[in-house]
Structure 1
């Protein structure tokens, strides 16, 4: 069995959907389906029970999943040890804005335990560059939020968060259980500096041009709301000062927490890191 085919199998087994697995692997669905059918032919047994809504693992598939994960983990450790011996055991990670996400803490703990020989260097970045310096070569991999211009990049979704609007606690709209974007059309929204990724800016503007103060960091966003009554969007579940409130937006697509790296980057430390992040952020 080729390691690549086993990675395909694990992706389908974890997503339980060929379409989602293909998107995760950044490939089209037909070659993924062919690879899995060939793997089943090689083994001589079905690995998945297929239905119009998705797939489920067979008993044989469940056994192979355990073995495939162990084999892929071992292959990753081999790459990491060889990289360390070659003096390549440093990985620079970009983290966007708020490093208090519990996923970051879980990832740091598990990665440090499983890869003690790797030196992780962290570059904390503000909101003006959602790729955290990746395109400029300042980091090897970024933990950030989409959407942004994904050309020449590989993106792995780690989690999705619902989004709300941040308001002053004494704002009349702060008493609402939920809001829609049109109800905020007359408000000023915080803006990112000129030259910021337009896809990123458009998302945090609710999909249309807005006007308001320019900010670069999370705290500047919160202060703009507190001092100027500006509104802006934020993922739900983050702690806010008592003077502020967040109201869920029911017509806003969720914010995707992602790991992203340069397409074709052969650094052997990236994949084990991303796999660890996938596990840590899904808990």
Structure 2
């Protein structure tokens, strides 16, 4: 069994879909299918049952998934220890996620537990750079939100959060159970500085050009709503600050929490971070 083949199998077993697994691995489906078939011949058992709706693990496949994950984790740990011993034991992580996010807490605990010899430096960034300094070479990996331009980057979605409109508690719309973007037409929204990634700006402005104050950080958004009645969009899941309300917007796509790194980066510390992030956010 080759490590690459085991990684292919784990991707299919986790995604339960050859197409999604191929996209995750950045390969086409035919070589992925052939690799899994070779693995089934090697182990002498059917690992996956394919159907029009997706993939189902067989009992043998479930056992191999556990074993493959454990083996790949051991290989990952060895590579990280070697890198640390060779003097490459520092990982700089850019973050734009909610610091109260339980997924981020699980990620930090798991990475520290598995790789105690690695020094992790966290760089928090403002709202104008969704890649958290990744493109500028200021960080090795980013824990952030999409969408943003992907050129030269690899992105893995960890979770998708529904979003809502941040309004003052005395706003006429604040008492509604749900809103649509049309309900917010003509209102002033907060905007990001010139030069901000256009996909990022368009998402948080509900896909429309908006007028309103320019903000650089979350607290500036909060104050713009509190003092001026500006409309903002934020992920659901946390109680809004005092005096504000968060009302679900039903026709906006969820906000994706993602881990991003430079395409082709073979740094074992980055690879370990990505693998642990996926597991941590899966819960």
Superposed pair shares fold, TM > 0.5? yes
More off after superposition, 125-134 vs 23-32: 23-32
TM superposition shift of 1:27: 2.6
Distance in 1, matches of 2:7 and 2:53, equals: 22
TM superposition shift of 1:33: 1.8
Distance in 1, matches of 2:217 and 2:238, equals: 15
The residue number in structure 2 matching 1:240 is 240
Alignment check: 8 A CA contact 2:191 2:212 kept: yes
Consecutive aligned runs of 4 or more in structure 1 exceeding 3 Å deviation: none
The residue number in structure 2 matching 1:215 is 215
What do the CA deviations read for 1:85-126 (whole angstroms, capped 9, x no partner)? 100011000001632222111111111111111100000101
Segments of 5+ residues of structure 2 without an aligned counterpart are none
TM superposition shift of 1:279: 1.3
The residue number in structure 2 matching 1:101 is 101
Partner SS for 1:136:
coil
Partner SS for 2:242:
coil
Partner SS for 2:95:
strand
Distance in 2, matches of 1:151 and 1:38, equals: 33
Alignment check: 8 A CA contact 2:157 2:257 kept: yes
TM superposition shift of 1:38: 2.0
TM superposition shift of 1:275: 1.0
How do residues 129-140 of structure 1 correspond to structure 2 at under 5 angstroms?
129-140=129-140
How do residues 114-125 of structure 1 correspond to structure 2 at under 5 angstroms?
114-125=114-125
Alignment check: 8 A CA contact 2:190 2:215 kept: yes
- Matched residues, number: 283
TM-score relative to the length of structure 2: 0.97
What do the CA deviations read for 1:18-68 (whole angstroms, capped 9, x no partner)? 122222223332322222122212222211111111111111111111111
Distance in 1, matches of 2:32 and 2:190, equals: 43
The residue number in structure 1 matching 2:2 is 2
Q: Does 1:249 align with 2:257?
A: no
More off after superposition, 22-31 vs 230-239: 22-31
Distance in 1, matches of 2:222 and 2:32, equals: 45
Segments of 5+ residues of structure 1 without an aligned counterpart are none
More off after superposition, 182-191 vs 16-25: 16-25
TM superposition shift of 1:265: 1.1
More off after superposition, 24-33 vs 169-178: 24-33
Partner SS for 1:74:
helix
Distance in 2, matches of 1:32 and 1:203, equals: 33
The residue number in structure 2 matching 1:63 is 63
The residue number in structure 2 matching 1:84 is 84
Cα-Cα RMSD? 1.1
